Chain A
Amino acid sequence: MSVVSTDPEIVLSARGLTKEFRGFAAVSDVDLDVRRGTIHALIGPNGAGKTTCFNLLTKFLQPTRGTITYLGRDITGLPPAEIARLGVIRSFQISAVFPHMTALENVRIALQRRRGESMDFWRSDRVLRSLNGRALELLEDVGLTAFARTPAVEMSYGRKRALEIATTLALDPDMLLLDEPMAGMAHEDVDRIAELVKRISRNRTILMVEHNLSVVASLSDHITVLARGRVLAEGDYATVSKDPRVVEAYIGATHD
């Protein structure tokens, strides 16, 4: 096993990350270093193992081999809720909201977790109203003030994603892992969310899986290209987009 980096600028790091499903290696031997304060993109053709990689890093899947460290601490054995409690919050490919709760309640669920009284079953939920002010501020940040009392299920796709980001920000995470934040979005929404991601990246580290290459080009500081479960290339957009192996992998994938 390779030595884990102790560079304080590296926030999240993976070494030799491997996930095998019945002998098929979805992710094999991936090394990844995400630097503090950057937007790091994970790209690659379909089936490259991006989402699997993501699920491994947040421990929604258990790696077959390899280690993951966060701020120098080995987190390979931690369950997903504990990773979240360390300040690493992930999003999901399909929008992750609580559908039959209002936008306000969605954000409040996240605020409530930090407040630490969520086991209180003998108190009235009126105590949660003290969180409304902060929740409304967060909704305002993503332009959802008018929807505070709308159940999430009735909101448009783009707004659900915005709500998801507001909910994530409620936890004030140090690091965000965004799984295809622009997937399935209308063009106007893409710009809106891209601007939002840019804005929230201040003082935070972001790792995102994204298909939309123009978004990747404009947002990310560093790119890791995956293909067939392995790291194919790394660097900034200019570097990786010129890499012949990357071009080939992408063109090859169009035959799918």
Chain B
Amino acid sequence: MELREDVPAGSTAAIPHDDQGAGRLHMALFAVLLVLFAIAPMFFYPVFLMKVLCFALFAAAFNLLLGYGGLLSFGHAAFFGSASYISAYTAKVWGVTPEVSVILGAITAMILGVIVGSLAIRRTGIYMTMITLALAQMVYFVALQAPFTGGEDGIQSVPRRALFGVLAISPDRTFYYFVLIVVFAAVLLIYRIVHSPFGQVLKAIRENEARAISLGYRVQRYKLAVFVMSATLAGVAGATKALVFQLASLTDVYWTMSGEVVLMTLLGGMGTVFGPLVGAGLVVTLQNYFASFGAWVTIIQGVIFVIGVLLFREGIVGIIAKWIRRPL
């Protein structure tokens, strides 16, 4: 069979398609990040850093669904928030240790993810998104009305017990390393999911769903699987957050929380490995430093978001990846 053109040069040759090279770059960046975060408490307030880490994981979990699964959920606060409540409740009332409350929170989010996911993926596009929003509002209502959530007060002064029942990690500086390990492990798991045989199928479904079906893939199973994974990991973030602030509150399940995670992901760069982490860092930093402006924070956030979307649709990390011609 004859080839009519030469192998395309230029653009193709410049972008390395060797996944090995990209993998090594990513691992190096993860190592640098880990080192930076390990020494960061010497320079920054640990609670602020822990907040950044929890939201970075929340955004990374959300990005797994949006950026790699191609599914937009506007109800991720339900998973984050319900895990936060369960984590706070089990730590305070049942007196379980931190690792157990994080696991119980994640399991709650997972079960909720199965319910919301199996209903939502029956529809596509905006309809799917609306189903997630509607179901998340129901979770909010439960959090507001149920007897164990503390209503408007939430669950306050949640104790940080000894890790595994033996290691005292209650002080912020010590607890920070517990959070760092949980978040890094979860973010690396997300990285692995994206770069697995499963992740490859997800990519195919996102690129051309009808073709994936015609090759015999049961795409609904893959969509549900990635939905549940995303919900569970968002739960890990929420459960950890409850222990960081020693508080679970209605803010965690409110729809604005769902919006915030969309903002973080888009600002950082959806479908990129590091985008959600950068986006979360940026948004949390803004909220912290502009806290004195009160209600104006949301306006500043909104303006930054609009400018961000107008100037660089691919997000901060997306645009850097474009410059250096490497996936990040």
Asked whether A147 lies within 8 Å of B7 as measured between CB atoms, the reply is: yes
8 Å CB interface, B231-270 against A:
none
Q: Knowing A143-B1, A154-B11 touch, does A127 contact B207 (C-beta < 8 A)?
A: no
Tell me whether B123 is interfacial, beta carbon within 8 Å. no
Asked whether A84 lies within 8 Å of B216 as measured between CB atoms, the reply is: yes
Tell me whether A110 is interfacial, beta carbon within 8 Å. yes
Chain A residue contacts of B219, Cβ below 8 A: 81
Tell me whether B292 is interfacial, beta carbon within 8 Å. no
Asked whether B214 lies within 8 Å of A120 as measured between CB atoms, the reply is: no
Asked whether A121 lies within 8 Å of B192 as measured between CB atoms, the reply is: yes
A122-B17 Cα distance, complex, nearest whole Å: 23
Kindly identify which residue among B2, B19, B208 contacts A97, using a CB–CB cutoff of 8 Å: B208
A89-B200 Cα distance, complex, nearest whole Å: 20
Chain B residue contacts of A89, Cβ below 8 A: 214-216
- Give min CB distance, B222 to chain A, whole Å: 8
8 Å CB interface, B1-32 against A:
1-5, 7-8, 11-12, 17, 19
Q: Convert B193-205 into 0s and 1s, putting 1 for each residue whose CB lies closer than 8 angstroms to a CB of A.
A: 1011111110110
Can you offer 28 A-B residue contacts whose CB atoms are under 8 A?
A82-B216, A84-B216, A92-B211, A92-B214, A98-B207, A100-B203, A101-B204, A109-B212, A118-B197, A118-B198, A118-B201, A119-B197, A120-B197, A120-B198, A121-B192, A121-B196, A121-B198, A123-B197, A125-B196, A128-B200, A143-B3, A149-B17, A151-B12, A158-B4, A171-B215, A171-B216, A188-B4, A192-B1
Kindly identify which residue among B196, B207, B218 contacts A124, using a CB–CB cutoff of 8 Å: B196
Kindly identify which residue among B11, B210, B229 contacts A121, using a CB–CB cutoff of 8 Å: B229
Q: Which residue of chain B has the shortest Cβ distance to A131 in the bound complex? A: B197
Tell me whether A60 is interfacial, beta carbon within 8 Å. yes
Chain B residue contacts of A90, Cβ below 8 A: 214
Asked whether A125 lies within 8 Å of B195 as measured between CB atoms, the reply is: yes
- Judged by DSSP, the binding face of B is helix
Q: Which residues of A contact B (CB under 8 A)?
A: 58, 60, 79-82, 84-85, 89-92, 96-102, 105, 108-110, 112-113, 117-125, 127-128, 142-143, 146-147, 149-151, 154, 156, 158, 167, 171, 188, 192, 196
The list of the 7 closest CB pairs from A to B, nearest first, reads A143-B1, A84-B216, A121-B198, A96-B211, A98-B207, A149-B17, A85-B216
- Give min CB distance, A162 to chain B, whole Å: 8
- Give min CB distance, B2 to chain A, whole Å: 7
Chain A residue contacts of B2, Cβ below 8 A: 143, 188, 192
A60-B214 Cα distance, complex, nearest whole Å: 9
Q: Knowing A90-B214, A96-B214 touch, does A121 contact B17 (C-beta < 8 A)?
A: no
Tell me whether B213 is interfacial, beta carbon within 8 Å. yes
Q: Knowing A81-B216, A81-B218 touch, does A97 contact B200 (C-beta < 8 A)?
A: no
Asked whether B211 lies within 8 Å of A124 as measured between CB atoms, the reply is: no
Tell me whether B225 is interfacial, beta carbon within 8 Å. yes
Asked whether B215 lies within 8 Å of A127 as measured between CB atoms, the reply is: no
Chain A residue contacts of B218, Cβ below 8 A: 79, 81-82
A108-B11 Cα distance, complex, nearest whole Å: 23
A151-B12 Cα distance, complex, nearest whole Å: 8
Tell me whether B217 is interfacial, beta carbon within 8 Å. yes
Chain B residue contacts of A156, Cβ below 8 A: 4-5
Chain A residue contacts of B17, Cβ below 8 A: 102, 149-151
A73-B279 Cα distance, complex, nearest whole Å: 54
Q: Which residue of chain B has the shortest Cβ distance to A123 in the bound complex? A: B196
Chain B residue contacts of A146, Cβ below 8 A: 3, 7
Q: Which residue of chain B has the shortest Cβ distance to A162 in the bound complex? A: B1
Q: Which residue of chain A has the shortest Cβ distance to B6 in the bound complex? A: A146
Q: Which residue of chain A has the shortest Cβ distance to B218 in the bound complex? A: A81
Q: Knowing A147-B7, A150-B8, A151-B12 touch, does A105 contact B200 (C-beta < 8 A)?
A: yes
- Give min CB distance, A188 to chain B, whole Å: 7
Asked whether A99 lies within 8 Å of B207 as measured between CB atoms, the reply is: yes
Kindly identify which residue among B3, B11, B197 contacts A128, using a CB–CB cutoff of 8 Å: B197
A101-B215 Cα distance, complex, nearest whole Å: 16
Asked whether B200 lies within 8 Å of A119 as measured between CB atoms, the reply is: no
A188-B215 Cα distance, complex, nearest whole Å: 28
A85-B214 Cα distance, complex, nearest whole Å: 9
The interface centre, meaning the residue of A58, A112, A158 with most chain B CB atoms within 10 A of its CB, is A112
Kindly identify which residue among B1, B7, B200, B221 contacts A112, using a CB–CB cutoff of 8 Å: B200
A158-B1 Cα distance, complex, nearest whole Å: 12
- Give min CB distance, B116 to chain A, whole Å: 20
Asked whether B225 lies within 8 Å of A119 as measured between CB atoms, the reply is: yes
A96-B217 Cα distance, complex, nearest whole Å: 15
Kindly identify which residue among A60, A101, A122 contacts B196, using a CB–CB cutoff of 8 Å: A122
A108-B19 Cα distance, complex, nearest whole Å: 14
A91-B211 Cα distance, complex, nearest whole Å: 8
Chain A residue contacts of B19, Cβ below 8 A: 125
